[in-house]
Amino acid sequence: IAGITQAPTSQILAAGRRMTLRCTQDMRHNAMYWYRQDLGLGLRLIHYSNTAGTTGKGEVPDGYSVSRANTDDFPLTLASAVPSQTSVYFCASSEEEGESGELFFGEGSRLTVL
Amino acid sequence: GQNIDQPTEMTATEGAIVQINCTYQTSGFNGLFWYQQHAGEAPTFLSYNVLDGLEEKGRFSSFLSRSKGYSYLLLKELQMKDSASYLCAVRDGNYQLIWGAGTKLIIKP
């Protein structure tokens, strides 16, 4: 593994189903993030984690939950998917907030909720 | 509210120079980023500006004016592989990143 790995790459899901998007990084970064990207809109932050064991809500957290049991993994769960959650989801990580804070992104997970 | 404005789409010719502008209104400022995103791929970091002035990195340069709430990304000697979306993002006073919707750059031969 090099960088950030997301799974699945793509998924079609029936409304009401539960779905977990997986994210794993091997860079030992403290901070991790989940974004959604929709056409015509900027990336929107769903949840973030500044370090293992802590999480926080971003701009659009409703309908999503996260956990950060260790440094490497940061899964995103949709408890009961709805069509408005159709989007491309990006997981990202960064070393420190104080420096440039460059984000490293995974390749994305394209989710379609029918 | 906070917002980032950048043109939706631009077209340029291979070998030419293009400037992509970004204006922002945020509560506080702790740096401005430019990312490149090819269609269907992840964004990748291009540049970071926190002080006024020009940062040059190869064919790409980024400029910042904090007093004007303005930045631009300058791409020289355009190549076909530069066809992508360019995302401007500002870190606000709470160290939260605010993202623009991106500028789709189309390069024509």
State residue A98's pLDDT score.
46
State residue B87's pLDDT score.
97
Q: Best interface-test mutation with B: which of A97, A102, A104, A107 has the largest number of B CBs within 10 A? A: A102
Q: Is the pLDDT of residue A76 over 90?
A: yes
Categorize the per-residue pLDDT at A2 as very low, low, confident or very high, splitting at 50, 70 and 90. Answer: confident
For residue B108, give Cα distances in angstroms to B11, B76, B79.
7, 14, 9
State residue A97's pLDDT score.
56
More confident residue, A81 or B94: A81
State residue A100's pLDDT score.
65
Q: Is the pLDDT of residue A1 over 80?
A: no
Per-residue pLDDT of chain B (109 residues; tens, 9 = 90+): 789 999 999 999 999 999 999 999 999 999 999 999 999 999 999 999 999 999 999 999 999 999 999 999 999 999 999 999 999 999 999 888 999 999 999 999 9
A75-106: string of b/e by CB count within 10 Å (b at 16+)? bbebeebeeebbbbbbbbbbbeeeebbbbbbb
For residue B36, give Cα distances in angstroms to B20, B49, B56, B89.
12, 15, 16, 11
Contact, B83 vs B106, CB < 8 A? yes
Among A56-60, A86-90, B18-22, which is the least confidently predicted range?
Answer: A56-60
Q: What is the least distance, in Å, from the CA of B76 to any CA of chain A? A: 23
State residue B95's pLDDT score.
84
Nearest to A42 among B45, B96, B101 (CB): B101
* A74 has a chain B CB within 8 A of its CB: no
More confident residue, A98 or A12: A12
Q: Is the pLDDT of residue A48 over 80?
A: yes
- Quote the mean pLDDT of chain A: 93
Q: Per-residue pLDDT averaged across A63-72, rounded?
A: 97
* A1 has a chain B CB within 8 A of its CB: no
Contact list in A for residue B43 (CB cut-off 8 A) is 43, 90, 103, 105
Q: Is the pLDDT of residue A99 over 60?
A: no
* A26 has a chain B CB within 8 A of its CB: no
